[in-house]
Every structure is written in C-alpha cells, then in structure tokens.
Amino acid sequence: MGMLRLCIAFALLFTASAEELRTASDHPMQYYLSLPRGWTAGRHWPVVVVIESANRQFQETMGIFAKARGDMPFILVAPLVTTNGGANYRQAETYSYSEAVWSRIEQDRCRFDMDGIRAAASDVQKLFGGEDRYFLTGWEAGGHTVWSMIFQHPEALRAVAPAVTNYAGRCLDSGFSTASARANLPIAVFQVASGRDVAPGRFVYEQSQQAQKIAAEHGFRKVSERIVADKPHGPLADEVLAYFASLWGSR
C-alpha cells in the first residue's frame, strides 16, 4: 500500500507540472494548475487562486506567479473565468470551451465563474492536498471577479490581495454575504505608487477605493491598503505572494 501511494504521488506530480491546463471534475471550468517544488501527497498545502485581467493571458500570468513563488509552498490555480471585464471575452484565443459550455456561460456568466472557482478549489483539495480555504488575488479587471468572491463567499477565503483592481459592483445581484467570516478576513489592497493621479490609473485607483468603502460598509473589518513603489501597473506577484506567505507562516 505504501508503494502504491508513492506511485500515485509521483504520477500526480508529473501530470500537474507548471501551468498544466485541467478541467474541474464536476464543472466545465478550466484552470491552470502549478504545484510547488517538493510537492508530495499526504499533507496539506496552501492554495493561491489567481484571477487574470481582461488581457486573458491566463497561462502567462500563471507563469509570472510560478516564478515569483520560488520555494514558497503554494499550489497555484488560475481559473479561466469570463467575468474579468471586457465585452468581447468570447473572442479571446486563450479560451478552449466548447459551444455547449459557451451556451452555459452566456446563460449566467457570474454563476458559471463563482461555481467554477469553487469546483476548481474543491478539485485541488481532493487531488492535491490543498487546504480547505484558499488565498485569492487578481489584478485590473480581474477585480470584478475578486471583489464578487470577497463579498459573496468570504467563508471560502483565507486572505485576499486585490492588486490595482477595477470594481463596478458586478455579480452582486444576490446581495452581500452576512457570514461571520467576513469580519476577520484579511484583505490587503495593493496599489502602485505611480499613475494614480492620471488616467487610466486614476480610474482603477478610484474604483479600488470605492470597493474598500463598500467592504467596510458591509462588515469587512480587516481591510488595508499597501502602496508599492517602483513597480508598474501589473499583478504584483512578488508582493502578493510575500504577503500570503507572511500570513501562512504565522498560522
């Protein structure tokens, strides 16, 4: 039995190499998966879900986070969501959904993404030892998805780091969560120092400020802002993962 588990562990390790595209077991959501160095079965691993911007360069952004991860123990997951801004999302060449799946997506994009993220996270827990709550980040238009997850599913999250995000109150038709987990959910909003006073950076910054205000109004008490100097507008993977590592290390 011990040899069998070892063989399974090696099989999973080699089939889940950097930026492997998978489909959730019980949902058509696709997601990129990257396991950390030294991953083994039989223990629990922290998980970081990364929401891409409207650029929809899912694999490229996953690669940025995989490089920034270094020797940190995070399992990285980048779901191929469609609520991350843009009206012409279906034209993006980075998607490979079937017509049947597109039909389901277009019936309710918000529900597809929220259920799909949950399904991907569940897969990672069952198959790769991911912890039951995950870290969440996303940048620019990925903020539409990130803030919706914050406001509707805080109980699923360990901490959140929105990075220079948009916010327009999308996917909130069902209202805001009243789960007690929202009060102590750490949310560190990352901003870049340059470009906050001029367009287009000003619009992103103002929307991010609005999201923080709404979070406070709905009982999220642990929201802070972090200004990153000498970095351009981007996913801020180094800073985000360092923040998550500081929380995970002090657990």
Domain boundaries in the chain? 16-249
Element (H, E) at 2: helix 2-15
Query: What confidence tens digit (pLDDT) does each residue in 72-99 have?
Result: 999 999 999 999 997 789 999 999 999 9
The CATH class of the 16-249 domain is alpha beta
For the full predicted model, state whether its pTM sits above 0.85.
yes
Q: Checking phi first, is residue 129 left (phi over 0); if not, alpha (psi -120 to 50) or beta?
A: left
Q: How far apart are CA 154 and CA 5, in angstroms?
A: 34
Q: Checking phi first, is residue 42 left (phi over 0); if not, alpha (psi -120 to 50) or beta?
A: left
* N-to-C CA span, the chain: 33
Query: What confidence tens digit (pLDDT) does each residue in 22-44 have?
Result: 999 999 999 999 999 999 999 99
The pairing of strands 30-34 and 157-165 is: unpaired
Token pair of 59 as six digits: 């694999």
Q: HSE of 164 in the Cβ direction (CA atoms, 13 Å)? A: 25
CA-based Rg of the chain, rounded to a whole angstrom? 18
Q: Are 18 and 54 in contact (CB under 8 A)?
A: no
SS3 236: coil
Query: What confidence tens digit (pLDDT) does each residue in 126-142 have?
Result: 999 999 999 999 999 99
